[in-house]
Amino acid sequence: MIKSNIALIGFMGTGKTTIGKLVAKKLGKKFIEMDEYISRIAGKSIPDIFHEDGEIKFRELEIQACKQLSKNIDSVISCGGGIILNKINLDYLSTSSIIICLNASPNIIYQRTMKDGKEKRPLLSNPNPMKSINDLLNFRRPLYERATKFQIDTSSLSIEECADAVINLYRNATSGEK
Ligand code: S3P
């Protein structure tokens, strides 16, 4: 089966949403933001899910989202940064998507996520978000590396260059598919 979706994975602040929107526009695909989907299903914001129901509940909703969104065709899916924590998410996504991981340095991640406001991301909403970024990255780096062979460092590329790099990887990965 042709994999007509692109699933963008990677740590918070690596550019999945911004780059995903541009990739979708360039390829004429639908853009889907996984956190928005989860928020709609739960009827509350991501911070409210974390605070009221806990991270485990959020991770369950994330698994359901990966399962449902994998049924889409012709979409660019911007995934939450933690989907690599449950391997089943990658199993669902890889049925219909080429999975591409975006990376960035801790400093760039810090700058980008703090620009959004740290209260938007429960895992960084504490007095020392830089430490949280480093701790989480140290734990997760091998998981992102293992998740896919398609990796892009977005630290010093423009949005346009990142989008084109994603499109190239996607085209190369699907060129032999029937
Ligand atoms: C998370 C990343 C967030 C969001 C939630 C948890 C994570 O998504 O799903 O706050 O565990 O890395 P973004 O990567 O889109 O910020």
Place of tokens 């960084």: 124
Q: Average pLDDT for residues 136-142, to the nearest whole number?
A: 98
Q: Is the CB of 35 under 6 A from ligand 1?
A: yes
The CA distances from residue 96 to 4, 5, 68, in Å, are 6, 6, 11
Ligand 1 atom, smallest distance to 13 CA: 16
Q: Average pLDDT for residues 58-77, to the nearest whole number?
A: 98
Q: Tell me which DSSP letter residue 117 carries.
A: -
pLDDT computed for residue 2 by the predictor: 81
Confidence class for position 151, pLDDT limits 50, 70, 90 = very high
| Interval between CA 96 and ligand 1 midpoint (Å) | 22
Q: What domains can you pick out in the chain, each with its CATH number?
A: 5-174 (3.40.50.300)
Nearest CA owner, ligand 1 atom 16: 12
Q: Which one, of 137, 175, 143, 121, lies nearest residue 2 by Cα?
A: 175
- 6-63 per-position pLDDT tens digit: 999 999 999 999 999 999 999 999 999 999 999 999 999 999 999 999 999 999 999 9
Ligand 1 atom, smallest distance to 35 CA: 9
Q: Is the CB of 10 under 6 A from ligand 1?
A: no
Residue 62 has, within 13 A of its CA and on its CB side, a CA count of: 24
Nearest CA owner, ligand 1 atom 4: 80
- 92-106 per-position pLDDT tens digit: 999 999 999 999 999
| Interval between CA 153 and ligand 1 midpoint (Å) | 18
Q: Which one, of 14, 19, 3, lies nearest residue 171 by Cα?
A: 3
